[in-house]
Amino acid sequence: MYFNGVNAYVVIPLTVYGWSGITVQEWLYPFHPKANYLWSKFSMIGDYWDDYPSVFWGTDARYDYTDMGLRFVTRKPDGTRGLYVFSIYAYRNTWVNTAWSFRLSDRTLVGYVNGGIVHTASIPSDEKTVLEWNPDTATYPDRYKRFVLGSDTRGVEHMKMMQYQLLVYTRDLANKDIDWNFKNPENPVRDDLYMWLQAHPDNVKDIDGDGRLEWVDLSGYGNHGKIYGAQLVQLVQLVKTPARVLTPARVLPAAR
């Protein structure tokens, strides 16, 4: 799925409030630097601007283009932001498998790149996370009821990128499961898999008859993504895992 960095994104209905754990694992190709905006956010849940608890990949395009990574944002007791970051800057302009997981029991955040752990952090118990922020009492509830790919949850700060796969689990996956998914993208771990988007022509269709294409969720839970401007790109060839981009063979028409 190709996002042009200007007006393309995918919106998936998803509420993570009340979950005891979460894992999000993705195959991404982030183009960098990405011009046209001060910030680019993508693969985002929550509200960074008003209530604060949120999580997203992002890049700061204002200065020397040396920043790209995960932002796990909390709300501190004094009403300010808490920020936990790990970088994927070394993987710009290439395919990379990223993952992050968080569990409430011991409040551990773990970041992965290409199947291996690259970051861990302990979130203080008095800082609220996206799993603990009630959408019904949020300033902007919709931002806690959607997962947005290719942009932020407002649909404003877009990222030029490609995405091959998105996996969301309702628990923190073990290290061996993250590594399995990295090495076997066509056959991910199924236990507690709540969303599975895979880029393929069979998985992009207007399933509800509203005239707009959906990126079909293969998990069985119906978490289909509405496509706004993004296009399905067919590559000439992929190696065993999509480790690099080759010349596009064709681009399907943009979603209406």
Amino acid 244: pLDDT: 40
Amino acid 255: pLDDT: 38
Amino acid 234: pLDDT: 83
Domain borders along the chain are 2-251
Which of 29-43, 133-147, 206-220, 241-255 comes out lowest in average pLDDT? 241-255
- Using one digit for the tens of pLDDT, what is the confidence trace for 51-80? 999 999 999 877 667 889 999 999 999 999
| 39 pLDDT above the threshold of 90 | no
Q: In this structure, which CATH number among 3.40.50.1000, 2.60.120.200, 1.20.1270.10, 3.40.50.2300 belongs to the domain 2-251?
A: 2.60.120.200
DSSP character string of the chain:
-EEESSS-EEEEE---TT-SEEEEEEEEEE-SS--SSSEEEEEEEE-TTTT--EEEEEEE-SSSS--EEEEEEEE-TTS-EEEEEEE-GGGTTS-EEEEEEEETTTTEEEEEETTEEEEEEE--TTSB-TTS--GGGSSSGGGGSEEEESS-TTS-S--EEEEEEEEEESSPPPHHHHHHHHH-TTS---TTEEEEEE--GGGEE-SSSSSS-EE--SSSS--PEEEEB-B-EEES---SS--S---EEEEPPPP-
| 177 pLDDT above the threshold of 80 | yes
Q: What percent of the chain has pLDDT over 70?
A: 90
Q: Which pair of structure tokens corresponds to residue 8?
A: 């393309």
Rounded mean pLDDT of 37-50? Answer: 92
Q: Which pair of structure tokens corresponds to residue 143?
A: 């931002």
Determine the Cα angle at 90 with ends 89 and 94, to 5°: 100
Q: How far is Cα of residue 193 from the mean position of the Cα atoms in its chain? A: 15
Amino acid 245: pLDDT: 40
Q: What is the mean pLDDT of the chain?
A: 91
Which of 63-67, 153-157, 196-200, 216-220 comes out lowest in average pLDDT? 63-67
Q: Which pair of structure tokens corresponds to residue 48?
A: 């960074």
Rounded mean pLDDT of 135-152? Answer: 98
User: 229 vs 161, 186, 254, CA distance in Å?
Assistant: 13, 26, 6
Rounded mean pLDDT of 21-49? Answer: 91
